Structure formats: C-alpha cells, structure tokens
Amino acid sequence: MAKYQVSLVERPAGWQPTSPDDVPPRPGKPVSALTSTDDLFSAVRQAIEYNESDGTESAGRWAVVVEPGNLGRTWPGARLCTPLAYKVAAIWWPTGWEPKSPLDVPNCVWRAQGEPTDHLISYQEAIATVQSLNHQGMSQAAVRWYVVMAIENEPISHTVSLDPSGTETTVKVRKIHLVRGDQGGCGDCSHCPAHSFDCAKADLEAGIHSISDLSHRPIDLGG
C-alpha cells in the first residue's frame, strides 16, 4: 500500500477554504480515492490541482491527503495529512558548499534536522523568509543557512500524562518534511570535503523526521 492517498470528501455548501489544501470542518468519510503515491508533496500537488480545477465546487467534492491504515483523529482508518503547515529552520552552512540561489537546499541536509522556529506560517511566507535570510547570508558569508519544513496536520502519536504535582503534559508527534521548492536546487558541492560521496553527485530522497509539540497545564487534584 502506498504511503499517501488523495481522497475525495464532500464539500459543504457555502464553505470557503483558506488555502487550496485546506480541509472542510468536521469532514465526513472519504467517498472515493483519486490516486496513491509514496511522496507527500506529489499527493498534495495532485489534491491542489483537483481543488483548483473548474467544476470542483459544483461537483460538491474536495480533495484531501491521508495516510491510509494509520489511526487518525478524524477517521479511525486514515490519518489526515493536509492542510500542511510550514516553519523555517536554521542549519549549519555545510563546509565547502556554495549555493546558486537563496532557495537551494544542500543534499546532505536531507539526512539532518534543523531546529525550527515555533511560529507556523504559510508556504508563501516561509519561502519569502528563507529567500530573504539566505540572500543576506550569500552576501555576508554567513555560517547558517535556512530551509523550509512542512508539517503534516494530524499527529502520528498523541499522549497525555499526569505527574504527582498535578501537571498534565500533552505530547503530539508530527511528521515533518524538508522542502526543496521548484526554484531551488542542490547548490555546488564541488568544494566540499565529501564531494566524492553520493550525496554530492545526485539528488537524494528527502528524509522524513518528526517534531514534538509539548504543552503543560495544572490540574486540580482536589486534595
């Protein structure tokens, strides 16, 4: 079974999505599946293409991306992956690597994880932020480089614990993906000490990582 699936749900009358990968409030069970793929971004692109096509609203259908076979909060048999959220992460500038554009992402970052900011932003805001910061870095010989990270909607795990002091801790773990935009490449690795390695010769598949959201709140234990 493929990892991601583009599914169709009923589009509520009068609902106005905030983005082409948005999800209707309290969506009903999927009525059919459009396609399946191993790549999240391919699935999201196909869902967006469907949602932006002529006649979608009149047909009363809306495309969402799910991971079938995994427990979700909306549906028990599929985890809802859209809408995606985005963060900007700072990484160390790889030794000897030279970007050709502010939107380049070095291949070696696919196997690393930067520290993302806490602020969720849109894809357009994330791309604009990265482009601005990296443009400055290219001009000033910076030691850090910035990349965009996409965060899936529903968590892959959700745990709640209560300690003796009366503090409830909630941990939600979500999948994150490093984004290489259409206008970005892998840069120039010819001066990297590892330039003879496979990562410098061809694009690598993006690794999938996870990120944890922690929240705490006091609970009255009545004692």
Res. 138 pLDDT band, cuts 50 70 90: very high
Same-domain check for residues 117 and 139 = yes
pLDDT for residue 116 is more than 60: no
Same-domain check for residues 114 and 60 = no
Instruction: Give CA angle at 99 (152, 175), nearest 5°.
Output: 10
Residue 109 lies in a domain: yes
Residue 223 lies in a domain: no
Residue 50: count of CB within 10 angstroms of its CB: 19
Whether the bond between 83 and the residue before it is cis, its omega within 30 degrees of 0, is yes
Q: Of the candidates 80, 110, 128, which is a domain's last residue?
A: 80
Q: What is the rounded average pLDDT of the residues 97-105?
A: 92
Structure pTM? 0.81
pLDDT for residue 113 is more than 90: no
- H or E stretch covering 56: helix 56-59
In this predicted structure, what is the pLDDT of residue 206?
A: 53
Residue 23 lies in a domain: yes
Pairwise CA distance, residues 10 & 208, whole Å: 30
Q: Which domain holds residue 70?
A: 4-80
In this predicted structure, what is the pLDDT of residue 66?
A: 96
pLDDT higher for 115 or 174? Answer: 174
In this predicted structure, what is the pLDDT of residue 209?
A: 59
Same-domain check for residues 60 and 141 = no
In this predicted structure, what is the pLDDT of residue 158?
A: 74
Q: What is the DSSP string of 121-149?
A: B-HHHHHHHHHHHHHHHHHHT-SEEEEEE
Q: Of the candidates 57, 80, 103, which is a domain's last residue?
A: 80
Same-domain check for residues 73 and 148 = no
Same-domain check for residues 89 and 151 = yes
In this predicted structure, what is the pLDDT of residue 207?
A: 54
Same-domain check for residues 179 and 140 = yes
Same-domain check for residues 73 and 90 = no
Same-domain check for residues 142 and 214 = yes
Same-domain check for residues 129 and 183 = yes
